[in-house]
Protein backbone atom coordinates (compact mmCIF):
# COMPACT_ATOMS: atom_id res chain seq x y z
CA UNK A 1 0.00 0.00 0.00
CA UNK A 2 1.37 3.39 -0.96
CA UNK A 3 0.35 6.50 0.94
CA UNK A 4 0.44 9.66 -1.13
CA UNK A 5 1.90 12.79 0.31
CA UNK A 6 0.20 16.14 -0.27
CA UNK A 7 3.12 17.16 -2.43
CA UNK A 8 2.69 14.15 -4.71
CA UNK A 9 -1.01 14.90 -5.14
CA UNK A 10 -0.50 18.47 -6.35
CA UNK A 11 3.01 18.36 -7.77
CA UNK A 12 1.87 17.97 -11.37
CA UNK A 13 -1.60 19.49 -11.06
CA UNK A 14 -2.94 23.02 -11.03
CA UNK A 15 -2.09 23.43 -7.33
CA UNK A 16 1.64 23.15 -7.99
CA UNK A 17 2.06 26.90 -8.48
CA UNK A 18 0.52 27.69 -5.13
CA UNK A 19 2.61 25.35 -2.99
CA UNK A 20 6.09 25.77 -4.47
CA UNK A 21 7.17 28.75 -2.35
CA UNK A 22 5.99 26.89 0.78
CA UNK A 23 7.64 23.65 -0.30
CA UNK A 24 11.06 25.27 -0.38
CA UNK A 25 10.82 26.21 3.32
CA UNK A 26 8.92 23.06 4.40
CA UNK A 27 5.83 25.07 5.35
CA UNK A 28 3.04 22.53 4.98
CA UNK A 29 0.47 24.68 6.74
CA UNK A 30 1.29 27.65 4.53
CA UNK A 31 0.97 25.45 1.43
CA UNK A 32 -2.41 24.17 2.61
CA UNK A 33 -3.65 27.70 3.32
CA UNK A 34 -2.43 28.90 -0.08
CA UNK A 35 -4.32 26.07 -1.83
CA UNK A 36 -7.42 26.72 0.22
CA UNK A 37 -7.30 30.47 -0.44
CA UNK A 38 -7.04 29.90 -4.17
CA UNK A 39 -9.46 27.03 -4.66
CA UNK A 40 -11.99 28.06 -2.00
CA UNK A 41 -11.41 31.79 -1.89
CA UNK A 42 -13.68 34.69 -2.82
CA UNK A 43 -13.84 33.76 -6.51
CA UNK A 44 -14.87 30.19 -5.69
CA UNK A 45 -17.41 31.43 -3.14
CA UNK A 46 -18.96 34.00 -5.48
CA UNK A 47 -19.10 31.56 -8.39
CA UNK A 48 -20.85 28.91 -6.29
CA UNK A 49 -23.35 31.43 -4.90
CA UNK A 50 -24.19 32.68 -8.40
CA UNK A 51 -24.52 29.12 -9.72
CA UNK A 52 -26.91 28.22 -6.89
CA UNK A 53 -29.08 31.30 -7.52
CA UNK A 54 -29.03 30.65 -11.26
CA UNK A 55 -30.01 27.00 -10.79
CA UNK A 56 -32.90 28.00 -8.51
CA UNK A 57 -34.17 30.44 -11.14
CA UNK A 58 -33.97 27.94 -13.99
CA UNK A 59 -35.27 24.79 -12.29
CA UNK A 60 -38.78 23.91 -13.42
CA UNK A 61 -40.78 20.77 -12.87
CA UNK A 62 -43.20 20.11 -15.72
CA UNK A 63 -44.02 16.50 -14.98
CA UNK A 64 -42.17 13.23 -15.10
CA UNK A 65 -39.56 13.48 -17.82
CA UNK A 66 -37.06 10.72 -18.48
CA UNK A 67 -34.13 11.30 -16.16
CA UNK A 68 -35.75 14.18 -14.27
CA UNK A 69 -38.23 12.91 -11.72
CA UNK A 70 -39.80 14.95 -8.92
CA UNK A 71 -37.33 13.49 -6.44
CA UNK A 72 -34.42 14.84 -8.49
CA UNK A 73 -36.15 18.24 -8.77
CA UNK A 74 -36.41 18.44 -4.96
CA UNK A 75 -32.82 17.24 -4.58
CA UNK A 76 -31.51 20.03 -6.84
CA UNK A 77 -33.43 22.63 -4.83
CA UNK A 78 -32.07 21.30 -1.54
CA UNK A 79 -28.49 21.22 -2.85
CA UNK A 80 -28.77 24.87 -3.93
CA UNK A 81 -30.09 25.93 -0.52
CA UNK A 82 -27.37 23.98 1.27
CA UNK A 83 -24.72 25.61 -0.90
CA UNK A 84 -26.11 29.06 -0.14
CA UNK A 85 -26.21 28.30 3.60
CA UNK A 86 -22.62 27.05 3.42
CA UNK A 87 -21.55 30.48 2.21
CA UNK A 88 -23.67 32.31 4.78
CA UNK A 89 -26.49 33.17 2.36
CA UNK A 90 -29.36 31.23 3.94
CA UNK A 91 -32.85 31.41 2.46
CA UNK A 92 -35.90 31.75 4.70
CA UNK A 93 -38.07 28.63 4.90
CA UNK A 94 -41.21 30.37 3.64
CA UNK A 95 -39.27 31.69 0.62
CA UNK A 96 -38.06 28.16 -0.13
CA UNK A 97 -41.65 26.90 -0.15
CA UNK A 98 -42.84 29.84 -2.26
CA UNK A 99 -40.05 29.39 -4.81
CA UNK A 100 -40.54 25.63 -4.95
CA UNK A 101 -44.25 25.98 -5.63
CA UNK A 102 -43.64 28.59 -8.33
CA UNK A 103 -41.27 26.21 -10.10
CA UNK A 104 -43.81 23.39 -10.29
CA UNK A 105 -45.60 23.73 -13.64
CA UNK A 106 -47.01 20.21 -13.83
CA UNK A 107 -50.83 20.15 -14.20
CA UNK A 108 -50.96 16.87 -12.23
CA UNK A 109 -49.67 18.68 -9.14
CA UNK A 110 -51.99 21.69 -9.32
CA UNK A 111 -54.29 20.36 -6.57
CA UNK A 112 -51.32 19.56 -4.32
CA UNK A 113 -49.88 23.05 -4.86
CA UNK A 114 -53.20 24.61 -3.86
CA UNK A 115 -53.27 22.53 -0.68
CA UNK A 116 -49.81 23.75 0.31
pLDDT, one tens digit per residue, over 26-73 is 777 888 788 788 777 888 889 999 999 999 999 998 888 777 888 999
**Number of continuous H segments (helices) and E segments (strands) in the chain:** 7, 0
CB of 66 closer than 8 Å to CB of 51: no
Q: In the chain, what are the domain boundaries? A: 6-39, 42-115
Distance CA 9, CA 21 (A): 16
4 has pLDDT over 50: no
Q: State if pTM tops 0.85.
A: no
Query: Bigger pLDDT: 74 or 2?
Result: 74
CB of 61 closer than 8 Å to CB of 106: yes
Distance CA 31, CA 102 (A): 46
Amino acid sequence: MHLWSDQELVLEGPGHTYIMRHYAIADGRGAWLALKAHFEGDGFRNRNIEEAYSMLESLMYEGEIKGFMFKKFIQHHMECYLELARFNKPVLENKKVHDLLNCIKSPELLAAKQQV
